Structure 1
């Protein structure tokens, strides 16, 4: 136990060292899990519930249920509720189904015989610590918004609907989830539905990149040898008009310049307002404002223009005037 903790401490220091060279990226899910506690060493908190974590050696840990008001949903899952599991934000089932190996033998076959699947399974950018029971309940469900679904794990702010096979995470991590999805679908050439694209674009704008998210990305980049460009801002996701295929685009020099975020969306009504011609522009409550750099960004994120905005007519004389 002492040796395990000592090695963990050494690895943690190494990942934080500013001049360190990236170590060999993990080749298996097991190797990736061994490294993940070092990423969360000084921010030990479960992803969905925000429970404090006590690391117990290697990739293992225990969630502190009282710290987040967690209540075990099902007593048959008590063992899983008492441990930390490393959750794939983009579920292994989701990216596995897009590989031929899955159709001829499922996850075991892919892990044994498909190098790309193994790379996706071991990608640390896609791993987060979760209460085991929540990880099990989430299964491979899609992300969504579930206004009528009750909380099922005490005060843990995650909603899981087993009939709709959907999960709604707390607002503080929705942008993180969006940017992890953008990265995974882009980097590995996966297909993402238009509906999910719109949801993640909305979450990306509503929950901007946090200081911790940048720190997490930097630590993982030292181990993996690459960053998530949707966290660093080097790439922007653009809604694909064609349907299901993802359409990421490398940011140009113009993209990396500060964006003028003059358009205001209302996260409750899903309506956006312009600074000129929209009388409700300044009427949105501060905590409901979502900023966009263009009308295209707002519509891509699933927002519509306010109906009380003035319809501006184009005067041909204005166009021809010198």
Structure 2
């Protein structure tokens, strides 16, 4: 009997190790961040099915790699000015690349390339922050361009339409962007994540706004599913989302 146990023990251990190795292979090392170029290649692993909705206007889309695949009828979107960018999906940084990089040495460009390009090529930490999947959302290109590096704000409850029925608006004069209500809480929680993870400062005024949004606009099933899919690819959760999803019983 003792001989049989000795014979089977290596087989059992090998079987257990095999199961564990397969389970571990399904998840990336935690965390597995990417630069922005590689991050964009991961998007089809996250944004498929019901998650294919643009952040600022709520339009559904079929394929982020092809033009004219955004369903404007699903959200009532109308281009404001730049029709070339209006017909394509772009990956929007919630905390902008400008905000990520402006306090870094690499942002002081050398004259041969832009500040952002200089940071991408010379600052590995900037490159990882720029490519963090938690900070990226699909946007109609024109709205992404109009938002530019403007800070999020809220100044009216009756926005005058700029993009058809899309309720996100831009104040170009004062360099402010007011997102539609449905995503304000999510944008706040992403901003908190970027502060906690990378130390990107949030001003007192902005913090009060984001704390208000976080309370007024709780996590949705869409936001929780997005966080879970990012976890499967990148290997980490946004704790400001994950904990609230658990509290709400969504996961």
For the aligned pair, the TM-score class normalised by the smaller chain equals 0.7 to 0.9
Please report the RMSD computed on the Cα atoms of aligned residues, expressed in angstroms.
2.4
**1:231 is aligned to 2:241:** yes
Secondary structure at the residue paired with 1:128? strand
Structure 2, unaligned stretches of length 5 or more? 1-22
> For the residues of structure 2 that align with 1:60 and 1:227, how far apart are their CA atoms?
31
The CA deviation at 1:61 is 7.6
Post-superposition CA distance 1:253-287 (Å, at most 9, x none): xxx999xxxxxxxxxxxxxxxxxxxxxxxxxxxxx
Contact 1:146 1:159 in 2 (8 A): no
- DSSP 3-state at the match of 1:66: helix
Question: Runs of 4 or more off by more than 6 Å in structure 1?
Answer: none
Task: Give the TM-score taking structure 2 as reference length.
Answer: 0.80
Match of 1:130 among 127, 135, 139: 139
> Does the CA contact (< 8 Å) of 1:149 and 1:159 recur in 2?
yes
Check 1:22–1:186 CA distance in 2 against 1; reply closer, same or farther (3 A cut): same
More helix by percentage: 2
Q: What is the CA–CA distance in structure 1 between the aligned matches of 2:35 and 2:28, rounded to whole Å?
A: 17
Pairing partner for 2:74 from 67, 72, 75: 67
2:28 is the counterpart of 1:22: yes
For 2:232, the equivalent position in structure 1 comes to: 222
What is the CA distance between 1:157 and its match in structure 2? 1.2
Secondary structure in 1 matching 2:42: helix
Higher strand fraction (1 or 2)? 1
Equivalent position to 1:121, from 130, 143, 156: 130
- Report the CA distance between 1:185 and its aligned residue: 1.2
State which of 67, 78, 86 in structure 2 corresponds to 1:81: 86
The separation in 1 between residues aligned to 2:80 and 2:228, in whole angstroms, is 35
- 1:52 pairs with 2:60: yes
2:46 to 32, 39, 45: 39
Q: Determine the structure 2 residue equivalent to 1:108.
A: 117
| Unmatched runs of 5 consecutive residues or more in structure 1 | 1-16, 235-255, 259-322
Q: Look up the match of 2:104.
A: 99
Task: List per-residue Cα deviations over 1:196-226 (Å, max 9, x = no partner).
Answer: 0000000000011112211111110111111
What SS does the corresponding residue of 1:72 show, helix, strand or coil?
coil
Q: Say which SS state the counterpart of residue 167 (structure 1) adopts.
A: strand
Measured at CA, do residues 191 and 60 of structure 1 come closer, stay the same or move farther in structure 2, by a change above 3 Å? farther
Q: Pick 1 or 2: higher relative contact order, CA cutoff 8 A, min separation 6.
A: 2
Q: Is the 8 A contact 2:159 2:167 kept in 1?
A: no
Q: Normalising by the residue count of structure 1, what TM-score does the alignment of the two structures yield?
A: 0.63
